[in-house]
Amino acid sequence: MTGMSKLPQDVVHEILVALSDFSTLAAAIRTCKSFYDAFQVHSKLVTHAVLRKASGPALLHAKRLDHFICIVVESPNMALPRNLPADEFFESDAWKLTRDVAMRMESRGGDVQILEDTFSLRHKDRTSLISKLDVIERLRFHRAVYRYWICHEILKHDMLREPGEDDEEDEDGNDVDGNVDPVVLGGSTSDELFELIEICTFLKAMEVWQCRTTSTSPAPYVPFWTSVDPGQLAQSLETRQTCTDYDNGVGYHDVISLAARKLLHALAIPNDRIAQAYPKTILDAVCGADSRCSRCQVVHGNELYGQTNMHLLAGMLVAADEGSLLPGLLPRNRYELQLLYNHLLQNGPPISSDVVVGEMIAMDTDGAGADEETWSFDDWYCLDCIRELYRQRFMRWWREKKQKNGAPTQDDCWYGYNCRTMTHKTSHAAKLNHLCKPTRGDAPNIAPAHVAAAASLSYRDALSLSHTCKAARALPLEPALHTIVLDRSTKQLITFKDFLLAMPSRPLFLRSLVITKNVTWDMDDLLDKVASAVADILERALKLEQFNCGSIRELSNADPRIGTSLVSLQKLTHLTLLDGGLETSITATTLKSPRIEQLTIDMLSRGNRLTFVSFYGKIARYSRLQSLSISKMYDTITIPVPPQTDIVIPSLRTLALHSTYIPLSLASTMFPNVTNITFTNARHFPSVHRPELDPAEVATCWPTLQEAHIDARDLALWPIASRVRWLDLDVLRGGDSHQAIHAVNRTDPRVLSCAYTTEAANLFWKRLPLIALSLRFLDLKLLELSSYPRGCIQERVLKHLSRFHALTALFLCVRAFHQPNDLDAEIISIAKGLGRRNAKLQFVGVSFTDGRTMREDHPVWEEELQSSRWFFVRRSDECDLASLQDLPTNMGLSVRNYMYKADYDAPDWAKRLPTIA
């Protein structure tokens, strides 16, 4: 120590005052005489400097605590003094710092530092085990803890001492237990009282957490009315053992917090300020407050768990929680759970959940039975995702642990973790291995009705539903949120929003959301509330793939977050926006999702004109787009002259244009691989400019086209020339029969559907049998028979639907003003007539309905289908009609569906009909 002895006295002094605790100080002054001499000269200054470092920044409060405890120890049965010494006493020479006082204060300072490190880890910076509180935050924390500690000692003294003459009573004769107020809290500022309330919350939360680390119960008994001994809590956190003693509490509901709140009320602090979120009073800033879970991408701030704070899971997930996360019915296998609990709570230190989580993350993901999802130590996960990790790997972890511990090999039960016998028969549970997937039977089946109901119920009602049957209880409720259809009222939407956002992870299960017009039709004064609910859902449902909503223009104007959220969704594949405006087209063309497959835009009214490139050019960015439907854009989009463009969307297969004009040649150039086309303009947009067609345009079309749905009135505007499997002419009147004949001649369809009238000008049906040589199926609606007397319906039908050489099936829906007197006889007579006049006809379906209240473009309603009668046409060897055989309606409708979908180029398509019928 020769070098140390030569140091100047001022340097030695600086070294001594920089020491952090008294043990180091004692060792230093015993190692070198120069250190000892320097300490003797400035002993008071050095000891007070070391004391400040050992006790923390709130030295005055630490002194007051030690002084009070000395009074209690010396006179345990005396009533407490009404006032403790003033601050000047502890700063003057009257307060003596002895060796015992120094050691006690240093010990308490270490306990408070342990609590500070824990507080910082949980609420300030989850990445550091050492406190990251700044100087001001440390002062607030230490000051509040010492105040709390004094209050705890006061309450403990009042509970343990013998009642005596010094006890006071209030005016009603009740014991006064308010010594906390005048002795400790009197004169405190509102900020200091808020700090104390936050410390009360923190210490009680940590006591509950510590008790859970050594308990099998998910909710161990921790009396909420008792105060917490900060010293014992710090030691239990340090040693990971429960050291708190509930007998040291007092029999009142959180007396310390209530006393502080009472003083805040006396200071006229409003209730909403008193109830502000913890721990905002102590901390000025939080590191990582906007951090997201690496798996679910939900903002959880410091409630995320990684390598640094994974040990906190020990008090979050106890053994009972872990057992409940086993798959299937294993949580009800008492034999297996007892083995699991015995392993987790072994004779030595229990195996906490953080150890289990670490081992599950480190498991080999390439082995047999491994899950596909990847987990990493470098990522941060929320508690919900940690539970999902348990659901994926905990059974495998426990099975491998049993094998390593020498458990005998058992045969797998056929029904695996879904075995019901293991839940009530211990011998079966012990004989076979149930930690395996079922090879017989299925996982519990959740009925679709339960799934739909659970999604729209309140959280309490959804929990009640989970107790109605084994299937509903076996799986969590969140998967029921995968596909949601809101179709009743605005109240249903708001209720669903509250249920969905009740838990942070719940919106992430939502994949498809449909909001029908029943919800958005009549919002009135609720518009802002409904728009806000939709925006809240879209902001949180980060994994939403399909969205369908009406009145989107009103909703987007009421809450712009709707458009912003839709644009930012990264996994969106299907988007339907109805009753929109200019902002709707902007939203639809600026989506950031690279997965857009289906896009439907329905406009409410004409907006500002858009250039062709600004609209279709942006849609061309969606490289996976397969279906595009545009309605009511009218002539909003300017068409280039001449109609040529470099924009191509080769992925598109389905194109629908309703009241939206685009030249046929331009459409076939932009969408070269379309298989399904719909074009209806004239009925709703009669003023559309119809340019003269170039003769070459008639031949310009799609070689891949399979289905064409074109209003007969638009055939002059869009003369489809490709061969198709199915041609739908919508409504065919006499004035359009000439264009319809040319369309059938060019397309040569196998299936033809339309609604038609029987006026004399309609020449279509006279020419159709001569040109539709490949026609296999007719699906027709007969309209406007009001002018024909009873008994003429059959005549008109048979006159038009005759001499089809290849027709195999025919369905006729007659919407008549006059119903026949004998409906069954009329239907049979029509079916026989059709069978006689069409040599290859095998199946006939006829439906009669009252057409007086139906529009011509109404589709065939479900009621019309279900009321139809179907027949199989039996023929003699000469192909003449022999008889009609009645078919069940559902069988006939199966034939109808098959004829729409059949591959008529396949040689065996007709052979499948008898198996269907």
How far is residue 365's CA from residue 627's CA, in Å, rounded to a whole number?
A: 38
pLDDT band at 216 (very low <50, low <70, confident <90, very high): low
Over 70: is that where the pLDDT of 226 sits? no
Lowest mean pLDDT among 165-169, 520-524, 660-664: 165-169
How far is residue 334's CA from residue 573's CA, in Å, rounded to a whole number?
A: 45
Phi and psi at 856, nearest 5°, equal -65, -30
DSSP string computed for 663-678: -HHHHHHH-TT-SEEE
Determine the pLDDT at residue 695: 45
Enumerate residues 6+ apart whose C-beta is below 8 A from 307. Answer: 377, 378
Separation of CA 618 from chain center: 30
Mean pLDDT, rounded, for 76-84: 58
How far is residue 516's CA from residue 564's CA, in Å, rounded to a whole number?
A: 21
Which residue in the block uniquely carries the two structure tokens 């749905």?
Answer: 709
Average pLDDT value over all residues in the chain: 79
Closest CA to 544 of 553, 552, 536: 536
The string of pLDDT tens digits covering residues 740-799 is 998 999 899 999 998 887 776 677 888 888 888 899 999 988 876 545 554 556 676 777
How far is residue 553's CA from residue 555's CA, in Å, rounded to a whole number?
A: 6
Closest CA to 637 of 580, 702, 716, 582: 582
DSSP-derived 3-state class of residue 720: coil
Contact predicate 111/235, CB 8 Å? yes
Mean pLDDT, rounded, for 226-230: 76
Determine the pLDDT at residue 322: 85
Over 90: is that where the pLDDT of 677 sits? yes
Determine the pLDDT at residue 666: 86
The stretches of 697-777 forming alpha helices (DSSP H) are 737-747, 764-771
Structure tokens at 912: 């499948």
How far is residue 53's CA from residue 112's CA, in Å, rounded to a whole number?
A: 12
Over 50: is that where the pLDDT of 175 sits? no
Question: What is the β-pairing status of strands 777-782 and 627-634?
Answer: unpaired
Residue bearing the bigger pLDDT, 605 or 495: 495
Contact predicate 909/809, CB 8 Å? no
Q: Residue 794: enclosing H or E segment and its boundaries?
A: helix 793-800
How far is residue 362's CA from residue 359's CA, in Å, rounded to a whole number?
A: 5
Structure tokens at 809: 């099936």
Determine the pLDDT at residue 254: 66
Lowest mean pLDDT among 60-74, 164-178, 696-710: 164-178
Name the DSSP class of 185: I
Domain ranges of the chain: 1-54, 56-159+180-276, 304-365+374-431, 750-916
Partnered with residue 632 across adjacent β-strands are none
Determine the pLDDT at residue 653: 93
Cα dist from 472 to 190, 418, 469, whole Å: 50, 14, 5
The string of pLDDT tens digits covering residues 234-289 is 888 887 665 444 433 333 346 788 888 888 888 888 776 766 545 568 888 888 88
Determine the pLDDT at residue 223: 47
Residue bearing the bigger pLDDT, 432 or 350: 432
Mean pLDDT, rounded, for 75-98: 68
Name the DSSP class of 637: B
How far is residue 145's CA from residue 116's CA, in Å, rounded to a whole number?
A: 9
Lowest mean pLDDT among 195-204, 299-308, 757-766: 757-766
DSSP-derived 3-state class of residue 499: helix
The stretches of 606-736 forming alpha helices (DSSP H) are 612, 618-619, 664-670
Question: What is the β-pairing status of strands 777-782 and 809-816?
Answer: parallel
pLDDT band at 355 (very low <50, low <70, confident <90, very high): confident
Contact predicate 86/167, CB 8 Å? no
Separation of CA 410 from chain center: 40
Determine the pLDDT at residue 450: 43
Over 70: is that where the pLDDT of 39 sits? yes
Over 90: is that where the pLDDT of 691 sits? no
Lowest mean pLDDT among 348-352, 463-467, 603-607: 463-467
DSSP-derived 3-state class of residue 152: helix
Q: Residue 480: enclosing H or E segment and its boundaries?
A: none
Contact predicate 535/525, CB 8 Å? no
Over 50: is that where the pLDDT of 332 sits? yes
Determine the pLDDT at residue 456: 47
pLDDT band at 865 (very low <50, low <70, confident <90, very high): confident
Structure tokens at 487: 């179709």
Q: Give the side-chain half-sphere CA count within 13 A for 578.
A: 13
When mean pLDDT is compared over 102-106, 605-609, 671-675, the highest value belongs to: 671-675
Q: Residue 140: enclosing H or E segment and its boundaries?
A: helix 135-160
Enumerate residues 6+ apart whose C-beta is below 8 A from 748. Answer: 723, 724, 772, 773, 774
| Residue 894 CB-density burial (10 A; 0-12 exposed, 13-18 middle, 19+ buried) | middle
Over 60: is that where the pLDDT of 443 sits? no
Over 60: is that where the pLDDT of 169 sits? no
How far is residue 557's CA from residue 567's CA, in Å, rounded to a whole number?
A: 15
Phi and psi at 62, nearest 5°, equal -65, -40
How far is residue 827's CA from residue 835's CA, in Å, rounded to a whole number?
A: 12
Q: Residue 853: enclosing H or E segment and its boundaries?
A: none
Amino acid at 803: R
Over 90: is that where the pLDDT of 538 sits? yes
Over 90: is that where the pLDDT of 714 sits? no
pLDDT band at 165 (very low <50, low <70, confident <90, very high): very low
Contact predicate 222/254, CB 8 Å? no
For the chain, the straight-line distance linking the first and the last C-alpha, in angstroms and rounded, comes to: 108
The stretches of 569-725 forming alpha helices (DSSP H) are 582-589, 612, 618-619, 664-670
Lowest mean pLDDT among 297-311, 362-376, 831-845: 362-376
The string of pLDDT tens digits covering residues 612-622 is 888 899 999 99
The string of pLDDT tens digits covering residues 559-611 is 999 999 999 999 999 999 988 887 888 899 999 999 999 999 988 655 567 88
Cα dist from 708 to 583, 679, 684, 743, whole Å: 31, 8, 19, 11
Residue 416's region, left for phi above 0, alpha for psi from -120 to 50, else beta, is left
How far is residue 303's CA from residue 108's CA, in Å, rounded to a whole number?
A: 29
Contact predicate 884/835, CB 8 Å? yes
| Residue 107 CB-density burial (10 A; 0-12 exposed, 13-18 middle, 19+ buried) | middle
When mean pLDDT is compared over 109-118, 355-364, 495-504, 758-767, the highest value belongs to: 109-118
How far is residue 471's CA from residue 451's CA, in Å, rounded to a whole number?
A: 11
Helix 22-31 crosses helix 9-17 at what angle (to 10 degrees)? 150
